Amino acid sequence: MTPFAGRGPDMARRPRVIVVGAGFAGLNATRELAKGGALVTLVDRNPYSTFQPLLYQVATAGMGTADVSYPIRTFAARWPNVRARRAAVSKVLPAERRVEFDDGSGLDYDYLVLATGVTTNWLNVPGAPENALPIYSLGDAAALRRRLQHYLEDTAAGRRESTHVVVVGAGATGVEMAGTLAELRRHTTPLTHPELRPDQTSVTLVERFDFVLSPYKPRLRDLAAEALRRRGVQLRLGATVASVEPDAVILEDGTRLPSDVTVWALGVAAPKQVSDWGLPQGKGGRVTLTEALNVRDHPEIFVAGDLSGQPDPLPQLAQPAIQMGKHVGRQILAAAHGRPLRRFSYRDPGIMATVGKAEAVLQLSNGMTMRGLPAWLVWIFVHVAYLLGGRNRVNVLINFFWRYFGPRRTATSVTQ
């Protein structure tokens, strides 16, 4: 039985679309398809969608998991022609136009949207999968938060010698994580854990380039690096990680960085199961596509978001995923009505990253830049605007200002 069985002859004439993945790309594709009248089944292995740009806030106990997640069934309930399903895809059968799930069931489709996103790429660094913690999912962020909280408690009680943190990768996620941890170490931990000596904690950021935030202009990179140093982050730039041990990060030059908690904010790749789907793959395992974001030999299959290997590579950020999701939804509706497909064209709105309280960098596509408090306020309100659900928006806004302007001892108020 299909999710839309018994809905009448009008429903039967509409294209059946399966959207796999409830991230930025999948949700925006679903929204476009729903407005266009398609019968959509939104599938994700989790019952919620995660707002990934704020996972570092969850990991550093500034927000709870519910603040950055939203139930996909609540999202689907906005339209009568959308259904939600919690399942993990086990097989994609292009020749049969069918998707099979890990519970043994399956669904047939007229069009398929793959927006599963990607996963952590350990870059073949020995010891990294075993000893480092990624920050790509809600579960990752919660696990990192628990580790940090437990280690600080154990260090304060004398059961551990230290809680040194090494963040690997100085992209936006790594910079935001390091900056927030450093502020907590300097301003909050002395109040909440007065038993700790300054030498028992540290935050180190490791980057193989000679600068942080590589997509940004040199001036903004330098400003961000200086802001991190002011907050007490130890920068190891131009350094490549050779291996990760349970209590240290080893650099290629032989340097051993003590690390009780290693955060892996470097590299993503397509999930291994994608290779079983019979679709062409390119760099990083991403699916090779036409300019319209569909598969050449199976034009009814579209791919959006980080899994998309479109001819012109794009940064793996929220905006490209949002725009690709909208484009894919519109192209499926066009194809269903016999109209030609259009190539995808990305409209770059700019990039931004926050370093800590009242400090962020913003770079627009026209070359204009902004830094400091104005950029930080823009960063906050842009992120709040893209959250799903009014409750989430209010909670996140309150949490931001409470964390940064409330009493220092309450900056890490989330315990679960």
pLDDT tens for 282-328 read 988 899 999 999 999 999 999 999 999 988 778 888 999 999 999 99
Q: How far apart are CA 281 and CA 276, in angstroms?
A: 11
Average pLDDT score, the chain: 92
CATH 3.50.50.100 for domain 132-267+350-405: yes
Compute the average pLDDT of residues 26-53.
96
Instruction: Indicate the fold that domain 9-118+270-336 takes in CATH.
Output: FAD/NAD(P)-binding domain (3.50.50)
Residue 75 contacts by C-beta under 8 Å, 6 or more apart in sequence? 22, 27, 30, 42, 49, 84, 388
CA dihedral 35, 91, 89, 99 (to 10 degrees): 30
Residues 394, 28, 92, 18: what is their CA dihedral angle, to the nearest 10 degrees?
A: 100
CA–CA distance, 359 with 376 (Å, rounded to integer): 6
Number of C-beta neighbours around residue 355 at 10 A: 30
What is the rounded average pLDDT of the residues 51-64? 92
* Whole-structure pTM value: 0.90
- Burial string for 357-373 (b: 16+ CB within 10 Å, else e) reads bebbbbbeeeeeebbee
Q: Do domains 9-118+270-336 and 132-267+350-405 have the same CATH topology?
A: yes
Of 165, 267, 127, nearest in space to 208 by CA = 267
Domain ranges of the chain: 9-118+270-336, 132-267+350-405
Structure tokens at 83: 């259904």
DSSP alpha helices (H): ranges in 125-233?
A: 128-131, 138-156, 172-183, 189-192, 218-230
What is the model's pLDDT at position 410? 60
Closest-CA residue to 49 (of 394, 389, 381, 380): 389
Query: How many angstroms from the chain centroid is the CA of residue 85?
Result: 21
Query: What are the pLDDT digits (tens) for 226-274?
Result: 999 999 999 999 999 999 999 999 999 999 999 999 999 987 888 888 9
